[in-house]
Chain A
Amino acid sequence: MTNPHTSTWHPVAPSADIRPGANIVAGFVEGQELALWRSTGGAAQAWENRCPHRSVRFTLGQVIEDRLSCAYHGWQYAAGNGQCVGIPAHPTMQAPRNVCAKVFGAVDAAGMLWVNLATESATAPPSLADAVPAGWHFCRTLALRAAASGVREALARHGFAIDAASTAWRGALGKVKTVALLLDAQPQLAFVHLWTEAVPGSDAMRTLHAAARSLRHDVETRPQG
């Protein structure tokens, strides 16, 4: 697959939320739970949030240079291919090749970390870079207890239109120009990452925050179906 379709790349988190060689963030895509992290070099990682040894969540672990170390027994897994490279209980033993974290495709584009469940490739279509106009600011991520389909309908009702190339929804909330990046997290959980031309601390940004809460109320209180 040389040019994977953009719709298979999901915006999971703002890139800045995941710092090189530092934190591990939990993410969700279509019911798949993820551990998101970066090696010290900055390369984005999106792994199934489960150590292959005893299924403890990787998000409890820690990043050691370009490896993720599980909190339970300290098994270490390499960035990139997810291969187990160290089992502290047997320091002189080479880790078996079949012990490997499940790795998904992860790329940074337009200030966001995007994940593809169907590939391990870290190459995304160039159109993702156009999802958010250059110079725009991150507003907030809205968590919505609703199906992604319900959020799409609500965005359309609010006059948003989808850009097919990047899957970004473009429109305005409270008359403030906004891009909404929709994430189908779980059957009844969606996230909307809001970016805007409004400047942080401005009246327009405050208006957008209020309009976003109003959008969530609209989505969550609307009867299903």
Chain B
Amino acid sequence: MPFVTDDPNMLDDWLLVGPTAALAGTSERQPHATRLLGETLSLWAAADGTPQCRLGAQPLAVQSRYGYLWVCPSGRPARPFFEFPEYTEPGRRIIDCGGIGVAVSGLRVIENFLDMAHFPFVHAGYLGKVPHTEVAQYQVKVEPATGEIWATDCRFWQPRASAAHDTGSNVRYTYRVMQPFSAMLYKSSLRPGAQDAIGLFLQPLDDEHVIAHTLLACCDDTSSDAELIAFQQTIFGQDKPILENHAFKRMPLEGRAETPTRGDTSSVTYRRWLRERGMRFGTRAAA
């Protein structure tokens, strides 16, 4: 394989290569081009609509799930595809908020997504506000059946938790990591008893570059699509300059290069989870 990595954690998994909608109007003669692991792939829809993928002359395994195209570089996925039941749940709006390029290891982007402590500083006035800075204890576990990380019982005070909120509220979160480059969160919505689901799916361009795709499966009945997308892009636009200013673009999984604290349980679990599966792609070797 000519890819930029030989890490089986990447080659033997389903990797996102963009929205399925990008195949509109394509054919084998006029394919859509995109980047994955240092290579340029050709993607198109066959006459019956089935997605097709090639790297040079080599066909690659590809499928459409949850509105996105996913490629398994080796053709031998190590795990079944993760479940996302909210995607087809009646009453939810599904909104692709677009892809935003970030010049950093995707592992940093997922770790940031799992982190509440940065809300009052990076998302001041939206997802947090000084002096409401405390991260209360929450629970993190790895589900034996799926191998997914789940963080539960997370709570944080937010001045404006979503496009639909106009006042502050105590917001409950559940976080979930399905793949090294895929995570979801569930948070309180304005519809009683229902939680918005937000997916963050990263397209790995190389060890230090991703395209971050955000998908909403939300219970908002009032905001327009444009308002929901604008809100997500505002939030991500606040994260991007922080993410691109890590002195080490790749994430250290071992050693004492970085120091976690008590509220970093999700981050610590994510790093251990990556270490235990021998993750090399996007990581920084111990000094």
Bound-state Cα–Cα, A53 to B245, Å = 13
Interface residue tally for chain B (C-beta within 8 Å) = 23
Cross-chain contact B245 with A90 (CB below 8 angstroms)? no
Cross-chain contact B258 with A89 (CB below 8 angstroms)? no
Cross-chain contact B242 with A53 (CB below 8 angstroms)? no
Determine the chain A residues whose CB is within 8 A of the CB of B131 once the complex forms.
91
Known A-B contacts A33-B247, A55-B248, A55-B257; A71 and B117 likewise in contact (beta carbons under 8 Å): no
| Nearest chain A residue, comparing its CB with the CB of B122 | A72
Known A-B contacts A72-B118, A72-B122; A89 and B135 likewise in contact (beta carbons under 8 Å): yes
Cross-chain contact A88 with B133 (CB below 8 angstroms)? yes
Determine the chain B residues whose CB is within 8 A of the CB of A56 once the complex forms.
242, 245-247
Shortest Cβ gap from A207 to chain B (Å): 40
Contact of B258 among A52, A57, A74, A91 (CB under 8 A): A52
Q: What are the interface flags for A175-209 relative to B under an 8 Å C-beta threshold, 1 for contact and 0 otherwise?
A: 00000000000000000000000000000000000
Determine the chain B residues whose CB is within 8 A of the CB of A55 once the complex forms.
246-248, 257-258
Contact of B134 among A71, A73, A90, A96 (CB under 8 A): A90
Cross-chain contact B258 with A54 (CB below 8 angstroms)? yes
Determine the chain A residues whose CB is within 8 A of the CB of B118 once the complex forms.
72-73
Q: Does B262 contact A (CB under 8 A)?
A: yes
Shortest Cβ gap from B237 to chain A (Å): 14
Cross-chain contact B120 with A90 (CB below 8 angstroms)? no
Bound-state Cα–Cα, A33 to B248, Å = 12
Shortest Cβ gap from A101 to chain B (Å): 11
Instruction: List residues 225-260 of chain B with CB under 8 A from any CB of chain A.
Output: 241-242, 245-248, 257-260
Cross-chain contact A73 with B117 (CB below 8 angstroms)? yes
> A interface, by DSSP: helix, strand, loop or mixed?
loop
> B interface, by DSSP: helix, strand, loop or mixed?
loop
Interface residue tally for chain A (C-beta within 8 Å) = 24
Known A-B contacts A72-B122, A72-B242, A74-B120; A52 and B259 likewise in contact (beta carbons under 8 Å): yes
Q: Does B58 contact A (CB under 8 A)?
A: no
Q: Does B222 contact A (CB under 8 A)?
A: no
Determine the chain B residues whose CB is within 8 A of the CB of A98 once the complex forms.
259
Interface centre among B122, B130, B259, B263 (most CB of A within 10 A): B259
Q: Does A93 contact B (CB under 8 A)?
A: yes
Determine the chain B residues whose CB is within 8 A of the CB of A60 once the complex forms.
241-242, 245
| Nearest chain B residue, comparing its CB with the CB of A48 | B247
Cross-chain contact A90 with B246 (CB below 8 angstroms)? no
| Nearest chain A residue, comparing its CB with the CB of B246 | A55
Cross-chain contact A89 with B248 (CB below 8 angstroms)? no
Shortest Cβ gap from B140 to chain A (Å): 15
Q: Does B261 contact A (CB under 8 A)?
A: yes
Determine the chain B residues whose CB is within 8 A of the CB of A49 once the complex forms.
247
Bound-state Cα–Cα, A100 to B263, Å = 18
Determine the chain A residues whose CB is within 8 A of the CB of B135 once the complex forms.
89-90
Q: Does A154 contact B (CB under 8 A)?
A: no
Q: Does B121 contact A (CB under 8 A)?
A: yes
Bound-state Cα–Cα, A47 to B258, Å = 16
Bound-state Cα–Cα, A74 to B263, Å = 14
Instruction: List residues 34-57 of chain A with CB under 8 A from any CB of chain B.
Output: 49-50, 52-57
| Nearest chain A residue, comparing its CB with the CB of B263 | A89
| Nearest chain A residue, comparing its CB with the CB of B257 | A55
Instruction: List residues 113-172 of chain B with CB under 8 A from any CB of chain A.
Output: 117-118, 120-122, 130-131, 133-135
Determine the chain B residues whose CB is within 8 A of the CB of A91 once the complex forms.
131, 133-134
Q: List 24 A-B pairs, Cβ < 8 Å.
A: A33-B247, A49-B247, A52-B258, A53-B258, A53-B259, A54-B258, A55-B248, A56-B246, A60-B241, A60-B242, A71-B242, A72-B118, A72-B122, A73-B117, A74-B121, A74-B133, A88-B120, A88-B134, A89-B117, A89-B261, A90-B134, A91-B131, A91-B133, A96-B259
Task: List chain B positions with a Cβ less than 8 A from chain A.
Answer: 117-118, 120-122, 130-131, 133-135, 241-242, 245-248, 257-263
Given contacts A50-B248, A57-B247, A88-B133, 17 further A-B contacts (CB under 8 A): A33-B247, A53-B258, A54-B258, A55-B246, A56-B245, A56-B247, A72-B118, A72-B122, A87-B261, A88-B121, A88-B130, A89-B134, A89-B263, A90-B135, A91-B131, A93-B262, A99-B259
Instruction: Please list the 7 inter-chain residue pairs (A to B) with the smallest Cβ-Cβ separation, ordered nearest first.
Output: A88-B133, A89-B117, A50-B247, A89-B135, A89-B263, A57-B245, A55-B247
